[in-house]
Structure 1
Amino acid sequence: MHNNKATGNKGEQMAAAWLQQSGYTIKETNWRYSHWEVDIIASKENRLHFIEIKTRTSDKFGKPEESIGKKKMQNLRNAAEQYLYLYPHWKYVQFDMLAISMYYEKPVEYFLIEDVYF
């Protein structure tokens, strides 16, 4: 389990750096309310983005973007609703998913899936 946590933490750090290089402003990382968490909350061009980060070091259990289930997305939505209650000035909101593949001896791959509907 320690290895998965370390991979996840490294992926979230890499994601924040990649998003900043892509023009996003990071508002929050690992924002929590109750038992819900949003990996990254960022803004870009007057739009608030709630971003789930998934990182994998192998494709043994599938690609990172394939590992988000219905329950996880519901938790993301619940956390987002609370965040928007606290910061109601945001008119435009979007849910995104950033998959990071860090395979041995291969370049790191970033795959951003924007405006996920669930």
Structure 2
Amino acid sequence: MANHNDFGILAEDLAVEHLKENGYSILVRNFRFQKAEIDIIAEKDNLIIVVEVKARSTDAFMLPQEAVTKTKIRSIVSAANHYLEEFNRNNEVRFDIISVLPNKNKNLIIDHIKDAFQAFDAN
């Protein structure tokens, strides 16, 4: 397995820990629908939280969350709709991004961006 894949798995594990520590229940990891994948589906306060985890070893080129394109958003929304139908869930849904970046001391820092897709027009 490539080193960047290991880093991605570590970032997802850290995101899950962060969510659990903040009162979220993890429902599913790596939910797939067609070609789309949702990294984490969680629940808190009767909301379904769909989480895209983005990690980078450096922010020299772009912040991790900047890698979430309109195409990626449409794909995640489609997969989320399928999840809701498949599991007969009628909860309100929120889309978050958790970015993971090392600081100057190489410690990984988590940035949980709630309602992250609000800034995008996915049409």
Same fold judged by TM-score > 0.5?
Answer: yes
% identical equivalent positions: 32
- Runs of 4+ in structure 1 deviating by more than 4 angstroms, as ranges, are none
Is the 1:47–1:90 contact (alpha carbons within 8 Å) kept by the matching residues of 2? no
Letter in 2 for 1:41: I
| Partner Cα separation in structure 1 for residue 86 and residue 37 of structure 2 | 15
Q: Which residue of 2 aligns with 1:98?
A: 98
Give the corresponding residue for 1:74: 74
The residue aligned with 2:89 is: 89
1:55 aligns to what?
55
The alpha-carbon deviation at position 65 of structure 1 amounts to 1.4
| Paired residues for 1:1-118 under 5 Å | 2-103=2-103, 105-115=105-115, 116-117=117-118, 118=120
Q: Aligned-residue CA RMSD in angstroms?
A: 1.6
Matched residues, number: 118
Q: Which runs of 5+ in 1 are unaligned?
A: none
* Aligned counterparts of 1:103 and 1:62: Cα–Cα separation in 2: 15
How far does the alpha carbon of each residue in 1:1-23 deviate from its partner, in whole angstroms, 9 at most, with x for none? 92221111110011101110011
Q: Secondary structure at the match of 2:58?
A: coil
Q: Is the 8 A contact 1:57 1:103 kept in 2?
A: no
